[in-house]
Amino acid sequence: MKSATGRSFTYTIVQKLGHDIVTGTYGPSNPFPIEAELCKRLGASRSVLREAIKMLTTKGLLNARPRQGTWVEPEDNWNLLDPDVLRWLLERNFSPKVLLEFTQVRLAIEPMAAALATRHSTPEGKAGVVSALNRMKAAELGEDDPLESDIAFHVSILRASGNRFLARQRDLIDAALRTSIRLTNRRKGVRLASVADHQKVADAILAGDVEEARATMHALILEAMTLIEKEVLASGEGL
């Protein structure tokens, strides 16, 4: 059975239940439903539902034990480095503080990725960076999607780094940037990201200038972090 988007029915259930857990539909004051109730509500077989529960358990959202039932884990146990969990958190009564915390992580990761890309990137990796930058230039002309092209640029550098662990962060970066880019562009009063600033990063990588690649990427993310800090203060959450 497939959902309308073509994804497996199990994945559709994971998205539905995961979103409900993170946004507070289920929790201490509203226990997670029993298996029979969920099967009926979702129109799912027991095997499909159990697979979905298993996936949510690996994300740290649920715990399930024989004869004890299934319950929502405390938020401290959630896997915040899971792209789905991060996206659901950002959708939960949108919290700029969550976005700020992740942007601080980006500040630790992406300048290093840019520096490594100058040393270890293959011709294919460098071509990926150039292609993503060209997409951003096309977006300025209305010939590509501004958000997708900006995300593609940052992901291309993770891939070009030659570090498998950094490359695996692509889905996490993608999830965060879908909220971050909209927020920071609104704060700056612009519709598009600065291609010139991204060009500096790409030029440094292509020239093999490690410190310049690191510094320009650091500056790019630091600007975003500063704008998000202003949003946090305006929201009253406090830094």
For residue 2, pLDDT beyond 50: no
Fold for the domain defined by 9-77: Arc Repressor Mutant, subunit A (1.10.10)
173-186 confidence digits (pLDDT tens): 998 888 888 888 88
Average pLDDT over the chain reads 90
pLDDT at 95: 76
CB neighbours of 216 closer than 8 A, spacing ≥ 6?
Answer: 114, 197, 200, 201, 204
Instruction: Name residue 120's beta-bridge partners.
Output: none
Average pLDDT of the residues in 54-75: 92
pLDDT at 4: 38
pLDDT at 22: 93
Q: Provide CATH 1.20.120.530 ranges for the chain.
A: 94-235
CB distance 116 to 208 below 8 Å: no
209-222 confidence digits (pLDDT tens): 999 999 999 999 99
pLDDT at 164: 95
Average pLDDT of the residues in 45-66: 93
Lowest mean pLDDT among 97-101, 120-124, 162-166: 97-101
pLDDT at 7: 53
Average pLDDT of the residues in 130-139: 96
Where residue 6 falls among pLDDT bands split at 50, 70, 90? very low
What is the separation of C-alpha 62 from the centre of its chain, rounded to a whole number of angstroms?
A: 21
For residue 110, pLDDT beyond 70: yes
For residue 81, pLDDT beyond 80: yes
State the DSSP string of 60-83: TSEEEETTTEEEEPPGGGS-TTSH
What kind of architecture, by CATH, is found in domain 94-235?
A: Up-down Bundle (1.20)
Q: Provide CATH 1.10.10.10 ranges for the chain.
A: 9-77
